[in-house]
Amino acid sequence: MASAASMPIARELVRLDARPADKAAAIAEAGQLLAAAGCVEPGYAASMARREQAANTFLGHGVAIPHGLGEDRGLVRRNGLAILQIRDGIEWNPGQVAHLVIGIAAASDEHIAILRRLTRLLNDPAALQSLFTTDDAEVIIAALGAEPAAAAPAAPAQDLAERFDWVVDYPAGLHARPATRWVEAARATGCRVQVRHGDQAAEATALVGLLQLGLRPGDRITVSADGRDAAAALARLRATITGLSAQEKADAALAAQRAAAPVRGWEPAGPLVALAGIGASPGLAIGRVHVLTQAEAAIPDTPLPLAEGGARLEAAIRATRAQLKALEDDTARRLGPGEAAIFRAHAGLLEDPDLITLTCQLMVEGHGLAWSWHQAVERVAGSLAALGNPVLAGRAADLRDVGRRVLAQIDPTLAGGSLASLPEGPVILVAEDLAPSDTAGLDPKRVVGLATAAGGPTSHTAILARTLGLPAMVAGTAALLDLPPSTEAVLDGGAGRLHLSPGEADLAAARAFLAAQGEQRAREAALRAEPAVTRDGHRIEVAANINTPDQAGFALAQGAEGVGLMRTEFLFLERGDTPDEADQHAIYRAMLAALEGRPLIVRALDIGGDKQVPHLRLPVEANPFLGVRGARLLLRRPDLMEPQLRALYRAAAAGGPLSIMFPMVTSVPEVIALRAACERIRAELGAPAVPLGIMVEVPAAAVQADALARHVDFFSVGTNDLTQYTLAIDRQNPDLAAEADSLHPAVLRLIGQTVEAATRHGRWVGVCGGLAGEPFGAALLAGLGVAELSMTPRDIPAVKAALRGAELAGLRDLAARALACGTAEEVRALEPALRAMTQPAAQVAA
Ligand code: PEP
Ligand code: MG
């Protein structure tokens, strides 16, 4: 094992105020010192020079560490370090000046210990600077020779100046999500913050280190800090740490409740051996098991100059971070912020300095970038997994996953590939865990289900399987991986069970179950082009939320009767500049053409809140959801609103049923001002009048719907924002995601009030928020009197089917019962009543 003793720094090997003419002379001088001390054969200096040509050994901050080539290890007689202090510095590479040249002679990798000390010194510029100028060789020997306390198990970790003790009361221990919050809070203090458990300590700003403490419920820890206002900083951090307890306990209670709930799924006819896990994506799959062995892809080890390696590593990490952010945003939009939070935690793992330092150290030793990164990830993940704590084992899987993403950025040829040898389907894919890229790229014709040994219901496998509609089970334990190849199985992704080797009767029952599910989906799909007319003859318009003309074909194929919401801010968000009037005009014309005469509601720009457009350089707001957003911005920025309105009126003049809708309206004067702008531009262009509507997204608009109805032609309720503003829950906050339920009776009452007021004034109300796309939510909205529902295209068939199966009178009754409920849970408990109501229609349709 590496130790200070195995890498002695002898006094005669330290040369103060050395003056080599150039880099080559410095390397030669270090080599001579090592040879003179008997550490190396004379040829070693030449090997050091050759090594330098293959890979740069400049570490940064004025330090270089020349050493011999790996194949010349035979020239090393004993380990040693030779140190040249070059006060004036010499140019190591263009722009890089070395003041301390540390020649290394090491037969194996013992010099990692010294590199570790060096990288710590690199983070302490003042200490390093003193080594460049000191007259005392012992100062250098002490700085490079002392093993830091954290690395010496005998020396218990010391607390910092200010401290508090806390007993971990998170039922699942410190796992990645709360740990990410600790790291964010610790970083925000600007202080050095340490968390100690017994003899083990970790910097609170480093996620992997924190997780490596393996904190379990009941563990007593000491959190301490050094730096400016450390006491106040620590108080804030303490509030974060203790503030998370309630949510952690609530999550655990929910998980326990779910686990205790009777398994509702497919029941085999006779007793079958089943492996149990956690249901992650509902549905039944019948197939043969294919165990994906993590065939280690050969990672090439091609040395490269250190500076280039560092730059490429930084670029790969930056690109991965952007990829994770996009995944987080996309998942939040499709499945909610709770599901998306895991990707933020993954991004947090990339911030870990230990991982980066270890990679750099391996590169300094002469290894290639991809190889070094892979090794670093494996070493850290291996140490997490070895602690025997299931929470940390999960984090090890996360770390490996993030590691693979970075690896794919470093070298795209190293991305996946292990799925290439899948047998012909239907296959139930079994793996330790799957990376998002694996899951996203699966061929659903061959892979009918997924079962992983690791992961959790919020793991990427679970999220993506739900998105893809693939039945999936996670956390099925390592027993899964020992299954003989091609074992026949039935996977129940709802109950989290893999039933093994079913007999003929069971297979027949499973096939019948699957067929019934498939038939229901097929029935919905077959009738998707038909209108949504209730059994008593009431029609509800069903439209799509799409943003670009190229999405229209799919929307129409799903049964969309028009577009109820075209979010135009995406035209700005998806490009780096502002589309001008001509660009916008062309897009609106193309959208009308693609809809072939069906109605189009275009929403004027809704910028602000979570939809920030960097190139507009709008002022930064402390609380953008309550700031200059939507209509407020449009009225302040005619340069944005007027070209858009001109483009819209010109498109309307060219033909097509177009309506304009304004977002985030809160008051009558706003509507009057917006209408006036529309009328002025319409008159200037000699364009026809078009229906003008507003979004109902804030409680003020719902409560004052009667006053607003005098000035608008229609309303469209944005349930995403209406829920956020009614319940005072940030729609992006993952901790509150479960409570941000649009079926909260307070939200439903506001929608009911809006419909009543609009009806009194002869106006219609649509809903284009997420609630419109849930069959049960859509049924309640129809019962409340909503005339049009607009949603993500793929939700259309099921929503139409739910509406078609019911009678309006029944839906009205259901809606009245929902309005009388006390909580969102009580409202959701009415869902079986809807099913009971729609059952006969489904049979009729069949
Ligand atoms: C809404 O808030 O429900 C809505 C449809 O608008 P967006 O999601 O674009 O804010
Ligand atoms: Mg909105």
- What values do phi and psi take at 763, rounded to 5? -105, 155
How many beta carbons lie within 10 A of that of residue 157, not counting itself?
17
- Which pLDDT band holds residue 441 (cuts at 50, 70, 90)? low
Side chain identity, residue 739: E
* The predicted structure's pLDDT at residue 336: 57
* Element spanning 313, H or E: helix 306-335
pLDDT score of 178: 81
- Which ligand 1 atom lies nearest to the CA of residue 569? 9
12 alpha carbon – ligand 2 mean position (Å): 72
Tell me the CATH number for domain 306-414.
Answer: 1.10.274.10
3-state secondary structure of 136: coil
- What is the model's pLDDT at position 466? 64
Q: Which amino acid is at 302?
A: T
Most confident of 212-221, 548-557, 634-643: 634-643
* Residue 440 scores a pLDDT above 60: no
SS3 179: helix
Q: What is the per-residue pLDDT for 839?
A: 57
CA distance 659 to 383: 60
C-alpha 553, offset from chain centre: 30
Residue 758's pLDDT is what?
A: 98
| Ligand 1 atom closest to residue 769's alpha carbon, by position in its atom list | 3
Q: Give the mean pLDDT of the chain.
A: 83
Measured CA to CA, the distance from residue 493 to residue 461 in angstroms comes to 12
Of the pLDDT bands very low, low, confident and very high (cuts 50, 70, 90), residue 22 is very high
Tokens of 174: 């410190």
pLDDT at 114 exceeding the cut of 70: no
Distance (Å, whole) CA 589 – CA 655: 9
* Contact call for residues 804 and 845 (beta carbons, < 8 A): yes
Residues in Cβ contact with 172 at an 8 Å cutoff, skipping those fewer than 6 apart? 217, 248, 251, 252, 391
Residue 175: active-site member: yes
pLDDT tens digits, residue range 174-225?
876 788 789 889 988 888 999 999 988 888 987 767 877 878 889 999 999 9
Measured CA distances, 834 to 495, 770, 817, 827 (Å): 23, 19, 12, 11
Burial of 229 (0-12, 13-18, 19+ CB in 10 A): middle
CA distance to 277, 319, 399, per residue, from 340 (Å): 22, 18, 17
C-beta separation of 628 from 612 below 8 A: no
Ligand 1 center to 539 CA (angstroms): 24
459 Cα to the center of ligand 1, angstroms: 26
Distance of CA 528 to the CA centre of its chain: 33
Q: Using the structure block, give the residue that is written with the tokens 């003193």.
A: 130
For residues 661 and 716, is the Cβ–Cβ distance under 8 A?
Answer: yes
What does the block give as tokens for 70?
A: 């790996």
Residue pLDDT, tens place only, 453-481: 876 654 556 656 765 678 988 877 777 87
Residue type, 139: V
- Predicted local confidence at residue 844, as pLDDT: 37
Instruction: Show the DSSP H helices in 146-297 as ranges.
Output: 176-189, 207-212, 230-260
Plot region of 734 (φ>0 → left; ψ -120 to 50 → alpha; else → beta): alpha
Return the minimum-mean-pLDDT range out of 294-308, 491-505, 758-772, 785-799.
Answer: 294-308
Handedness of CA 575, 581, 583, 587 (dihedral sign): positive
pLDDT on residue 355:
82
Considering only CA atoms, which residue is closest to atom 4 of ligand 1? 718
Strands 788-791 and 274-276 come out as unpaired
**644 and 584 Cβ atoms separated by less than 8 Å:** yes
When the candidates are 3.20.20.60, 3.40.50.720, 3.40.50.300, 1.10.10.10, the CATH number that belongs to 708-846 is: 3.20.20.60
- Whether pLDDT at 727 is above 70: yes
- Per-residue pLDDT tens digits for 560-605: 999 999 999 878 875 667 899 999 999 999 999 999 999 999 999 9
Between CA 137 and CA 142 the distance in angstroms is: 9
pLDDT in tens, 245-266: 887 777 666 555 544 444 456 7
Strand order in the sheet with 427-431: 274-276, 497-500, 488-492, 284-292, 427-431, 447-452, 472-474, 278-281
Instruction: Kindly tell me the burial class for residue 125, based on how many C-beta atoms sit within 10 Å of its own C-beta (0-12, 13-18, 19 or more).
Output: exposed
96 lines ligand 1 (CB under 6 A): no
pLDDT in tens, 659-685: 999 999 999 999 999 999 999 999 999
Q: Which residues pair with 196 in a beta bridge?
A: 201, 222
Angle formed at CA 569 by CA 564 and CA 575, multiple of 5 degrees: 130
Distance CA 336, CA 334 (A): 6
Distance CA 748, CA 781 (A): 8
User: Do 636 and 629 meet the contact criterion of CB atoms below 8 Å apart?
Assistant: no
pLDDT at 724: 92
Residue 815 scores a pLDDT above 90:
yes
Please say whether the beta carbons of 517 and 494 come within 8 A. no
Closest atom of ligand 1 relative to the 567 alpha carbon: 9
Higher pLDDT among residues 73 and 506, named by residue: 506
Strand order through the sheet with 80-93: 14-15, 80-93, 96-105, 63-64, 58-60
Q: Which residues sit opposite 474 in a β-bridge? A: 278
Q: What is the pTM of this model?
A: 0.54
CATH fold of 162-258 reads Histidine-containing Protein; Chain: A; (3.30.1340)
CB 223 within 8 A of CB 166: yes
SS (H, E, C) 417-432: CCCCCCCCCCEEEEEC
| Gap from CA of 665 to ligand 1 centroid (Å) | 12
Q: How far is CA 287 from the centre of its chain?
A: 31
How does residue 281 score in pLDDT terms, banded at 50, 70 and 90? confident
From residue 592, give the alpha-carbon distance in Å to each of 244, 362, 563, 566, 648.
49, 58, 10, 11, 11
Q: Is the pLDDT of residue 326 over 90?
A: no
Check: CB of residue 28 under 8 Å from CB of residue 45. yes
- Any catalytic annotation for residue 67? yes
On the question of pLDDT at 845 being above 60, the answer is no
Q: Provide the percentage of residues in the chain whose pLDDT is more than 70.
A: 83
Whether ligand 1 lies within 6 angstroms of the CB of 768 is answered as: yes
Ligand 1 mutation target, pool 768, 774, 789, most atoms within 8 A of CB:
768
Q: How confident is the model at residue 154 (pLDDT cuts 50, 70, 90)?
A: very low
Q: How confident is the model at residue 399 (pLDDT cuts 50, 70, 90)?
A: confident
Residue 394 has pLDDT above 80, yes or no: no
Listing DSSP states for 60-106 in one string gives: ETTEE--B--GGGGGGBSS-EEEEEEEEEEEEEETTEEEEEEEEEE-
Choose the most confident range, by mean pLDDT, from 173-187, 363-377, 728-742: 363-377
Q: Probe ligand 1: pick from 721, 726, 747, 767, max atoms within 8 Å of CB? A: 721
| Alpha-carbon span 35 to 49, nearest angstrom | 15
Q: What is d(CA 536, CA 538) in angstroms, rounded to the nearest whole number?
A: 6
Pick the catalytic residue from 61, 99, 111, 175.
175
Please, which residues bridge with residue 103 across strands? 82
Selecting among 99, 111, 346, 460, the annotated active-site residue is 460
Residues 490 and 284 sit within 8 Å (Cβ to Cβ): yes
Q: Is 328 in the pocket of ligand 1 (CB under 6 A)?
A: no
Q: What share of the chain is helix, strand, coil (3-state, %, to 5)?
A: 50, 15, 35
Check whether 153 has a pLDDT greater than 50: no
Q: Per-domain residue ranges for the chain? A: 4-145, 162-258, 306-414, 418-523, 708-846
Q: Which CATH superfamily is domain 418-523 in?
A: Phosphohistidine domain (3.50.30.10)
Closest CA relative to residue 130, chosen from 148, 113, 147, 143: 143
Is residue 474 a contact partner of residue 454, using CB atoms and an 8 Å limit?
yes
Return the amino acid letter for 344: R
How far apart CA 761 and CA 712 sit, in angstroms, is 10
What's the topology of domain 4-145? Mannitol-specific EII; Chain A (3.40.930)
Is 460 one of the annotated active-site residues of the chain? Answer: yes
Which secondary structure element, helix H or strand E, spans residue 835, and what is its range?
helix 831-845
Name the residue with the closest Cα to ligand 1, atom 6. Answer: 718
The Cα–Cα gap between 769 and 784 comes to 15
Taken as a whole, the chain contains a residue count of 846
| 3 state SS of 767 | strand
Task: Classify each residue of 396-429 as buried b or exposed e, where b means 16 or more C-beta atoms within 10 Å of its C-beta.
Answer: bbbbbbbbbbbbbbbbeebbeebbeeeeebebbb
